[in-house]
Structure 1
């Protein structure tokens, strides 16, 4: 009788992991922690397991059809020009590609105005951006999911310290003697709400009332919101913009109404993007590339703990 060769299932059983985890560990692909890789390979050596060449090709996602595993970055943003108008998304892609390196994984980016109803071909993993909490939880139940920004309880996320960024912006304006302060805040998303909370907390403690308007992270809405603020409070001497794109609309409105930046009105943005540097805009820098890189690494290795809030830093320039 010929002795039966050990199978991948045998390796998985002895190592105490799933067959899929054993396959990833054997083939050295994404999705298995270093501890799992080491354990599985030790067991494989003990059992004398040798992976079949065809099976290896399939396991690495390069079978006869040439289909690769993919990670999807799902962005909910109603602005049709969002990908070109908002530097944030380009920085996310840069960080994601940095995390993937030379791994044979496809990166798919999908911007939608509203969440898709069906999910018939789920990817290996998803990074969620601006996805509401309940929907984020639903996606997390279907597979590996990491959100950029706080989402529903139980949904892994990576985020900068938005609250402290708002605090830094407010401290700077108070310290430079600005007393009639306005703000164009963002939409009702966790990240925008955190920036708003940090900013208002300092202003309240300093006895500064804040004239505010709601924005949506677009230049057009920020421009209109700033015009509205100036009509209500013509003597504003500072404006906090919830992101750098918003700040561009604020600056345009100030120029058109004859206000000098920063002599008459100081402006502070949030993101620290290339827009801020080009416009000589004081802005709270957040490490978007690091945020996206961490999210992808968490998808590739679920045992990897999500990082603590990433630090933000105010860069003071000519606008304030």
Structure 2
């Protein structure tokens, strides 16, 4: 007989599972088979284990203090330098940490070049970033999942009004008299496609042609794309960059070509990050921190409505 109060680690050891699995089983979280869940609970009853707050956890879907589960931020990005080069991800973590304040949950960041085919150790909840618009992978449908940006049908998401942001950027360039406009768009992700659609809709309505180059949200590709635009339209007088990192490559290429910003060429980015502030870049602001916080709040309480779309707003600075 034990001479102390049984703990979750005792239950896990006797049941032959990890402490995290025992926590999931006791709290009714996903990622545990019915057989394992029943075995863990039977062992807990036999040992006299009494977790505090289990009733609250079962009612709200939140894990109790008996086990330190994790929320995983899963980033799909082929750029190996993405986490250091793109301020967006740091802003996501800031918002997620705010929403987890006071919760007995760890925050884990995982960067992958493509969606994983398997999910051997599902977390308490997962935030998906840059997930392709495809039928949901099995791991993305297990339990609590929220995407930043619209993704597979059935997966709740939170996203900025990308279409509206692209619209605002285009209206600004047309209203300021720019007539030879280029654009460096992003990859084939939902958010990038929405920005492209909003921008081109305004240009089409204004009966104004746009010279387009494809990008991938990296400075290096944007630099090469801008050189391509200048070769095709030497008198280019405006560029819309689909994110602020892209805008940095645009500005570099324009500077090296001897084109003055904004006198010769106006530049508008998208994100409203610290990069935009430092470079005096006009940029469409998206509330990334609030997006991430809203996603995590939805993970903690699935009864909340899907966060949906948050507003964007163009901030005009010296580049346009």
SS at match of 1:118: coil
Q: Confirm or deny: 8 A CA contact 2:122 2:139 kept in the other structure.
A: no
Structure 2 CA distance, aligned partners of 1:314 and 1:141? 35
Residue 53 (structure 1) shift: 7.0
Are 2:279 and 1:279 equivalent residues in the alignment? Answer: yes
Please report the TM-score for the alignment, with normalisation by the length of structure 1.
Answer: 0.81
Q: CA deviation at 1:57?
A: 7.7
Query: How big is each residue's C-alpha offset from its partner over 1:162-215, in whole Å with a ceiling of 9 and x where there is no partner?
Result: 000000000000000000000000000110000000000000111110001000
Question: How far apart in 2 are the matches of 1:139 and 1:258?
Answer: 50
RMSD: 2.2
CA–CA distance in 2 between the matches of 1:111 and 1:82?
9
Corresponding pairs, count: 273
Are the aligned partners of 2:244 and 2:271 in contact in 1 as well (CA < 8 Å)?
A: yes
2:83 and 2:173 map into 1 onto residues whose CA distance is 31
Aligned to 2:245: 245
Task: Select between 302-311 and 134-143 the one with higher mean Cα deviation.
Answer: 134-143
* Secondary structure in structure 2 of the residue aligned to 1:269: strand
TM-score computed with the length of structure 2 as normaliser: 0.81
Q: CA deviation at 1:287?
A: 0.2
The DSSP-based 3-state class of the residue aligned with 1:309 is strand
What is the Cα deviation at residue 62 of structure 1? 4.8
- 2:52 paired residue among 48, 51, 56: 56
Q: Does 1:98 align with 2:98?
A: yes
How many Å separate the matches in 2 of 1:62 and 1:110? 24
Q: Is the 8 A contact 1:213 1:225 kept in 2?
A: yes
* Residue aligned with 1:166, SS: helix
Secondary structure at the residue paired with 2:217? Answer: coil
Render the CA deviation track for 1:36-68: whole Å, top value 9, x for unaligned.
xxxxxxxxxxxxxxxx874228875555xxx51
Counterpart of 2:86?
86
In structure 1, what is the equivalent of residue 3 of structure 2? Answer: none
Would the aligned equivalents of 1:77 and 1:130 in 2 still touch at CA under 8 Å? yes
1:61–1:69 CA contact under 8 A, matched in 2: no
Contact kept in structure 2, 1:148 and 1:157, CA below 8 Å: yes
Mapping for residues 83-162 of structure 1, pairs under 5 Å? 83-134=83-134, 136-162=136-162
Q: Deviations over 1:291-314 (max 9, x none)?
A: 000000000000000224100000
